[in-house]
Chains A and B, each alone.
Chain A
Amino acid sequence: MDTGLLIEKIILATLLFVVSLGIAAYSTYFERKLAAWIQDRVGPDRAGPFGILQPIADGVKMFMKEDFTPTNADKWLFILGPGIAMFTALMTSAVVPWGTDVSLFGRTIALQVADVNIGILFIFGIISIGVYGIMIGGWASNNKYSRFGAIRASSQMISYELAMGISAITIIMMSGSLGLNDIVKAQHGMNWNIFYQPVCFIVFFVCALAETNRAPFDLPECESELIGGYHTEYSSMKLGLFLFAEYVGMFVSSAVIAILFFGGYNFPGMDSFSGNTLAILSVVAFFTKIFVLIFIFMWIRWTIPRFRFDQLMHLGWKVLIPLSIINMLLTGIVIAFNEGWIKF
């Protein structure tokens, strides 16, 4: 085996791990600052200048709390739940292309941990496993509110996965490949998918909100009805892992949306750069897109009230799925005309 390749992949994976966790930690801070700004408050400002050390203080607090397990809880599954939630949130970033190739020490390094040819399916596989963390955690707590939360989470995720998958198929048809790298390359420069597929983008974005359990789709943890939903019985760092997994999931789904609809690391005028300059600029462009999307995620949370559960199911099954199927069929017809498979 090529040792250099092994080392560069290990470094890249570690870096990704640290960056995902760091961004998730600071997302909590920005979420609170943004909420404060929208609600005309100051927000956290005690720890460090502008409260910049708040995530560290929160982390320390989480670790210092008593780690409590309910009496009749299934002990192993109770531990497994948050573990799976965090694991699946972090796994997805393995197939994301973060930028163009870098040349360092005479080697060309691809800024992607694994360029598997099933890229987008890999992401869907991981998302579909993600629900187990919530389900197992909610069931193992042996609490009716937790179980309600778990059941709501699973039915919500199953419903929205369908529309999400169909709108992803539309994008796959546009680019002709399942690999995320090819999808990004097909949107070179300013040739982004959002200009061709605005309906598809809206469907995908709404589904991404639902899949990450963000407001207005945060019914699994709906505090006004279910106390805390699936994490009612959790405390200490186990609760921390659940909350953190949500923010990592938000980061990763923003990255996926940026890849599918906003051209990933492409930016207008990228042809006038080359080599490492291009690589750095592309990474910067990609992260800018991700941060804007995270901002929109938070903006929605503090603007739109929560759905009722029947409204959620209605939206998922009767609006988004038919919309995405019609969109997919129309795209298919247009592609068939362009390729000359159908002629009048």
Chain B
Amino acid sequence: MSIELLTLIIGGLTIGAALMVVISKHPIRSVLFLIVTFFLISSLYILMNAQFLAIVNIIVYAGAIMVLFLFVLMLLNLNKESEPNTPKIVLISSVVASGILLLVLIAAFKDSIHLSHVHLPTEKNIGLVKNLGDLLFHKYIVPFEVSSILFIASMVGAILLAKREKPIID
């Protein structure tokens, strides 16, 4: 089986799973389909020989963030009764808005199909850990450090939010 065919099959499955996230009636099922979507995206990364990216995608998104999603949903215990009543006008306007978004996206991607035929990396092992580390710590050192500062800032923010407020004493 050729790589192109495999990519097409997995890509189709990914879109199918992503659609199921939206279509599913139950929020827990939606989250489970989202996890399936992450796995399929990771397998696309592996097809492009980016093993590190694939496994980090699984560890961070499927393994940590989605566990927290499931955790919260289980505590909320959503069902039919607790579903909020959305007025008709909101539904209609959201359909119109997403239709317009689709139009814009089609207009934007219309020409890009010709530009990027299958853009496979010229070097076979470009996605391996060693090369990735070299790139991150030499060529892209400044953006890398900036993003880590952003991470620290968000961590400090999260801790501040989670911290109990001290009672005010007059």
Contact = CB atoms under 8 A, between A and B. Distances in A.
B21 interface: no
Interface residues of B, number: 21
Given A118-B52, A158-B67, A132 B35 contact: yes
Contacts of B59: 121, 124-125, 128
Contact of B58 (A125, A131, A154, A178): A125
B141 interface: no
Contacts of A77: 28, 32
Interface string A77-107: 1000000000000000000000000000000
Contacts of B64: 128, 158, 161
B28 A125 contact: no
A155 interface: yes
B63 A151 contact: no
B4 to A, nearest CB: 18
Contacts of A124: 55, 59, 63
B75 interface: yes
Contacts of A127: 63
Given A128-B58, A131-B67, A154-B67, A121 B74 contact: no
Is the interface on chain A under 10, 10 to 19, 20 to 34, or 35 or more residues? 20 to 34
B55 A151 contact: no
A151 B55 CA distance: 25
A159 B51 CA distance: 26
- Chain B binding surface, main DSSP class: helix
Query: Which of B35, B67, B128 has the most chain A CB within a 10 Å cutoff?
Result: B67
Contacts of B34: none
B55 A155 contact: no
Contacts of B56: 121
Nearest to B125: A117
Interface string B36-64: 00000000000000011001101100111
B68 interface: yes
A17 to B, nearest CB: 22
A244 B58 CA distance: 25
Contacts, number: 62
Interface string A298-318: 000000000000000000000
Contacts of A154: 67, 70-71
Interface string B9-51: 0000000000000000000100010010000000000000001
Contacts of A157: 67
Contacts of A178: 129
Contacts of A150: 74
Contact of B63 (A116, A118, A129, A155): A129
Contacts of A135: 67, 70-71, 74
A139 B67 CA distance: 13
Interface string A129-151: 10110011001000000010011
Given A131-B67, A158-B64, A178-B129, A122 B74 contact: no
A139 B28 contact: yes
Interface string A238-261: 000000000000000000000000
Nearest to A131: B67
A151 B75 CA distance: 8
Contacts of A155: 71
Contacts of A161: 63-64
A229 B63 CA distance: 22
B138 to A, nearest CB: 15
A129 B32 CA distance: 12
Given A129-B58, A151-B75, A154-B70, A136 B32 contact: yes
B161 to A, nearest CB: 17
Interface in B118-170: 128-130
Interface of B: 28, 32, 35, 51-52, 55-56, 58-59, 62-64, 67-68, 70-71, 74-75, 128-130
Sorted nearest first, the 7 A-B pairs with minimum C-beta distance are A128-B63, A125-B58, A121-B55, A125-B55, A125-B59, A118-B51, A118-B55
14 contacts: A117-B130, A118-B55, A121-B56, A121-B59, A122-B55, A124-B55, A125-B59, A128-B63, A131-B67, A135-B71, A151-B75, A154-B70, A154-B71, A155-B71
Given A125-B58, A128-B58, A135-B70, 17 more contacts: A117-B51, A117-B128, A118-B129, A121-B56, A124-B55, A124-B63, A125-B63, A128-B59, A132-B67, A132-B70, A135-B67, A135-B71, A136-B32, A154-B70, A158-B67, A161-B63, A161-B64
